[in-house]
Amino acid sequence: MVDLIKKHIKEVVNETWNNANRCEDVKDEIMNAALGLAGEAGEVVDVLKKMFYHRPKNRRDELMVEMGDVYYYMGKLQDLFGFTTEEILEANKVKLFERYEVEGK
């Protein structure tokens, strides 16, 4: 999976990033990625809301597309800050294991 994420960042995210040429510096790129991530996370939540509280309709494909957009912006932030997927996942593991007092992992 890690290699798949790196490949996606290289072949998709970086090839399609800033196609409107509106990001003039790294700060612009970070803010664009952060705002994009927040917006796409909201779209994931909106699809889930519709799944549970609107008229019945299979929205699984919509959910998958929006989750892909979350990966897109996460991947760009990862790339901009030079984090590896391994570092991100390990930091998350450490934080959660400490919080929930998981031993021996």
Domains of the chain: 2-99 (1.10.287.1080)
Give pLDDT, residue 105. Answer: 61
Helix-then-strand count for the chain, H and E: 5, 0
Q: Who has greater pLDDT, 104 or 65?
A: 65
In whole angstroms, what is the distance from residue 34 CA to residue 77 CA?
A: 7
* pLDDT tens string 3-45: 899 999 999 999 999 999 999 999 999 999 999 999 999 999 9
Q: Note the pLDDT tens digit of each residue in 40-66.
A: 999 999 999 999 999 989 999 999 999
CA pseudo-torsion sign 15, 68, 74, 83: negative
- ∠ CA 50-56-59, nearest 5°, is 55
pTM: 0.91
* pLDDT for the residue 103: 82
